Amino acid sequence: MLHNIAEGFAALFTLENILFLVLGTLVGLIIGALPGLTGNMAIALMVPITYTMSATTGLTFLTAIYCSSIFGGSISAILLGIPGTISSFATTLDGYPMAKQGKAGMALGISTISSVFGGLFSAIILMFLTTVLAEFALKFGPAEYFAVAILGLSCIASIGGKSITKGLLSGFIGLFFAIIGQDPQNGIKRFTFGSIDLLSGVTLVAALIGIFGIISVLKNAEKKTKENGPIPDVDHVWIGWKMCRKLLPTWLRGSIIGTIVGIIPGAGTNVATFLAYDTENKINRTKPKFGEGNPKGIAAPEAANNGVTGGSMVPLLALGVPGNATSALFLGALLLKGLTTGPVLFSEHADVAYSLFLAFFFANVIMAPLGLFILRYMKKILSVPEALLGGIILAFCVTGVFSISSSPFDVLTCIFFGILGYAFYKFDIPTAPLIVCLVLGSMAESNLRQALVANKNSYSFLYTHPVALIVLIISAVSFFVPIISKAVKSARKMRHPDEVKASDLAEETTEEMDDD
């Protein structure tokens, strides 16, 4: 093992590799930060370029892009309120409010260090536990996936804001949009109205950018308040040791959730961020509340989404099974180099395998200084007059969406969801449940259908698979507890209206206790 790590070091530390490590990190940061442009896209474009490089250099380059693009997504999430990638959606919930309170530097600092923590955590797991964990991942079947998707969906009850009814309404509208497209099991076209563009469903990234980007432009145009005003100032970004100590438990939980979800093939970064955010939301006892700029609301999803990076490599390297779209691209790059994945990689190309592990490690390490360095100038790059900002955001959004697959229809999707989101805003309906359901709806559906096929159309798998059963019970708890606690609270308010008025503090305290 130590010998292999030493060999990996020797292979990784050449001038060329370090150059590409830095270059890849920069590329990833910038691409991740631009709404619509994803790390996946960058890696897909770079795979053919790596063909002329040595295996180690190529993989190092791709690794650096992968890790830093996930982090980069949080920059626009915090500064503009538009997630640069879907995986930084949860970061907007607390990051943007925090930035608007004038603590943009702090928010970015938290996201940087949380990302690095999550990334390093998963890199270490990847290095030491790959072969053990891969076996566990294979045992995850459709029944278990379905349960995980339901767990992700269950958080809509707690992120829906003040009104449960409006939160659920938003969620159901999201589920409706998730069923558009061809039925995954029998090919029947649902709500496609004869359009080929809708056959594979609503393009997620386009919808998401519409909901965040277009709305912020419309809000800005509508009123001259400072609410969606200029990009917040980035002051000093170092968050201090005290904050680090405070966030450590959040980081650990986020990293563990991220790494585990990453290891399960096909579960994806998005579920991980929702789960991590919701977990922290439920156990949080500190002020301010989640959704109003709580540092933990940034730390949890950012540690989780970078935790996924290392985790998603586990099934790929150990079994040759890519866990998500990005690791599928890594598989392509490995194959182009004539390398096979699986145990053979470790026995025959230990230097390549271990230099890849180390690349994951160091990509996360240099991400912090490079990120902080870029952040200083980010503000300058984006410092345009307030009145022009809307137009610039719109241009970013539209070009970003168009670049997904050069499809004008995606741009229409983006505009449609922008208007839908604006209507939501007008009626004070939260958009977060809509997004969660849109992202996870089809995962829940196709895995349910697959599980039914595997079980000869019997629903018995819901209680015969222990993992699925446990996850489903947790989901039920996670879904109903916030609803019940809110109902109890409003009942109490009805009975003792004076008591509540008497002291806001008292109410806040009961609320925190109810959250348990």
Query: Of 4, 14, 131, 182, which one interacts with other proteins (CB under 8 A)?
Result: 182
How far apart are alpha carbons 405 and 298 in whole angstroms? Answer: 30
The nearer residue to other proteins, 22 or 44, going by C-beta atoms, is 44
Burial class (CB in 10 A: 0-12, 13-18, 19+), 47: middle
Span near other proteins by CB under 8 A; candidates 2-10, 56-64, 74-82, 314-322: 314-322
Span near other proteins by CB under 8 A; candidates 69-77, 117-125, 191-199, 371-379: 191-199
The nearer residue to other proteins, 62 or 303, going by C-beta atoms, is 62
**In the stretch 10-49, what mask flags binding to other proteins with x, by CB under 8 A?**
------------------------------xx-xxx-xx-
Q: What is the DSSP string of 402-464?
A: HHHHS-HHHHHHHHHHHHHHHHHHHTT--SHHHHHHHHHHHHHHHHHHHHHHHTTT-TTHHHH
Span near other proteins by CB under 8 A; candidates 25-33, 353-361, 450-458, 489-497: 450-458
The nearer residue to other proteins, 18 or 44, going by C-beta atoms, is 44
* 235: amino acid identity, one letter: D
10 Å Cβ neighbour count for 351? 18
Span near other proteins by CB under 8 A; candidates 82-90, 124-132, 190-198, 298-306: 190-198
Is 51 a binding residue for other proteins by CB under 8 A? The answer is yes
Contact 510, 488 (CB under 8 A): no
**In the stretch 453-492, what mask flags binding to other proteins with x, by CB under 8 A?**
xx-x------------------------------------
> What is the smallest separation between the CB atom of 59 and other proteins, expressed in angstroms?
15
The nearer residue to other proteins, 96 or 461, going by C-beta atoms, is 461
Q: Which residues does 137 contact at the CB level (< 8 Å), separation at least 6?
A: 263, 264, 265, 314, 315, 319, 321, 323
How far apart are alpha carbons 209 and 441 in whole angstroms? Answer: 18
Q: Tell me how far apart the terminal alpha carbons of the chain are, to the nearest angstrom.
A: 44
> What is the smallest separation between the CB atom of 48 and other proteins, expressed in angstroms?
5
Taking CB under 8 A as the criterion, which residues in 255-294 touch other proteins? 265-266
> What is the smallest separation between the CB atom of 56 and other proteins, expressed in angstroms?
16
10 Å Cβ neighbour count for 473? 12
> What is the smallest separation between the CB atom of 419 and other proteins, expressed in angstroms?
22
Q: Which among 305, 361, 364, 339 is positioned nearest to 125, based on CA atoms?
A: 361
**In the stretch 339-378, what mask flags binding to other proteins with x, by CB under 8 A?**
-xxxxx----------------------------------
Contact 227, 219 (CB under 8 A): yes
> What is the smallest separation between the CB atom of 210 and other proteins, expressed in angstroms?
17
Contact 234, 378 (CB under 8 A): yes
- CA dihedral 279→283→286→289, nearest 10 degrees, is 60
Span near other proteins by CB under 8 A; candidates 16-24, 65-73, 177-185, 207-215: 177-185
User: In 338-385, where does DSSP find H-type helix?
Assistant: 343-348, 350-382
Contact 514, 485 (CB under 8 A): yes
How far apart are alpha carbons 446 and 452 in whole angstroms? Answer: 10
Is 199 a binding residue for other proteins by CB under 8 A? The answer is yes
Is 185 a binding residue for other proteins by CB under 8 A? The answer is yes
> What is the smallest separation between the CB atom of 427 and other proteins, expressed in angstroms?
32
Helices (H) and strands (E) counted in the chain, each on its own, are 24, 2
Taking CB under 8 A as the criterion, which residues in 372-431 touch other proteins? 405-407
The nearer residue to other proteins, 52 or 225, going by C-beta atoms, is 52
Residues near other proteins (CB under 8 A): 40-41, 43-45, 47-48, 51, 138-142, 182-187, 196-200, 203, 265-266, 319-322, 325, 328-329, 331-332, 335-338, 340-344, 405-407, 446, 450, 453-454, 456
